[in-house]
Amino acid sequence: MQLIKPYGDTLNDGAVQLSFTLPVANGAKAIEAAIQYTKKLGFTEAEVVNAHPLSDDFTFFVVYGKTPLAIDYDKIVVEEIEKPMDFYGVNSYIKEHIQRKIAVIGACTGTDAHTVGIDAILNMKGWEQHYGLERYPMIDAFNLGAQILNEDLIRLAVEKNADAILVSQVVTQKDVHINNLTNFIELLEADGLRSQFIVLAGGPRISNKLALELGFDAGFGRGTYPEHVGSFIAKKMVEKMMR
């Protein structure tokens, strides 16, 4: 057993630095509330070292507390999960292991007019400060936009020598996405092209499980960032090359 606590300036002092805002006006009562609230969080000592009004109804606090709680470090178990690489990681991984730029083509196919998903993954800007694949120096990304026929997407993928094809589906009414995704894989297989590409499906209601069932290499749902897709493609390509 190895019991540990936060370290301020002495072993086991349990010192913790906190900062938070309470939705009340600054004053003696607000400060007392911050102290009592900190104690309620389990700290035995709580000292408000700074209280500043943010507006008439909000106050910002910096508080130091001491906690009596400890944790047995020996009992901590972590599962080693592979973290997706970030923007820089993906680019240097491609540079090192693939040694050329990779080409990615994507579209929102069928009648679906929603470009928001494919744009979030492919466009320069990306979303939530996660750059899209277009911005990756080691990736040539082609975003065909929405309402692209499966046939056209496949034709352009061949033309552009794409390594990976991204199919985005946002509308899922009457399972239109399932039919469309299934049709895409069937067309690829009919043309004998399936093994040539890494094929990914994405959309707010697409899961990895569903995509695998339909014959894709992976599926990406809500909350996916471009680097998740970039990481997957790069690693999958290396895996394929090694085979």
Residue 148's DSSP bridge partners are 109
Q: Does 113 bind another protein (CB under 8 A)?
A: no
Q: Is 49 in the site for another protein (CB under 8 A)?
A: no
Query: Exposed, middle or buried: residue 219 (CB in 10 Å: 0-12, 13-18, 19+)?
Result: buried
- With CB under 8 A as the contact rule, which of the stretches 70-78, 131-139, 168-176, 194-202 interacts with another protein? 131-139
One residue of 28, 81, 82, 129 binding another protein per CB under 8 A: 129
Q: How far is CA 170 from CA 157, 203, 222, in A?
A: 21, 5, 10
Residue 25 interacting with another protein (CB under 8 A):
no
The residues, any chain, with a CB within 8 Å of residue 61's CB and separated by 6 or more, are: 18, 19, 20, 21, 22, 31, 34, 48, 50, 51
- Closer CB to another protein, 160 or 194, in the complex: 160
Residue 64 CB, shortest distance to another protein, in Å, is 16
Stretch 51-80 residues interacting with another protein (CB under 8 A): 52, 54-56, 58, 60
The minimum distance between CB 139 and another protein, in angstroms, equals 11
Residue 160 binds to another protein (criterion: CB under 8 A): no
- Give the nearer residue to another protein in terms of CB position, either 27 or 145: 145
Catalytic residue, from 125, 174, 236, 240: name it. 125
Is residue 92 involved in binding another protein (CB under 8 A)? no
For the question of residue 235 being annotated catalytic, the response is: no
128 binds another protein (CB under 8 A): yes
Residue 87 corresponds to which tokens in the numbers above?
């923007």
Asked whether position 20 contacts another protein by CB under 8 A, the answer is: yes
User: Nearer to another protein by C-beta: 3 or 54?
Assistant: 54
When asked if residue 19 is in the footprint of another protein (CB under 8 A), the reply is: yes
Q: Does residue number 155 form part of the binding site for another protein (CB under 8 A)?
A: no
120 binds another protein (CB under 8 A): yes
Each residue 217-236 as x (binds another protein by CB under 8 A) or -, in order, gives: --------------------
Q: Which residues pair with 219 in a beta bridge?
A: 201
What's the one-letter identity of residue 231?
A: S
Residues binding another protein (CB under 8 A): 19-21, 52, 54-56, 58, 60, 115-116, 119-120, 123-125, 127-129, 131, 134-135, 137, 143, 145
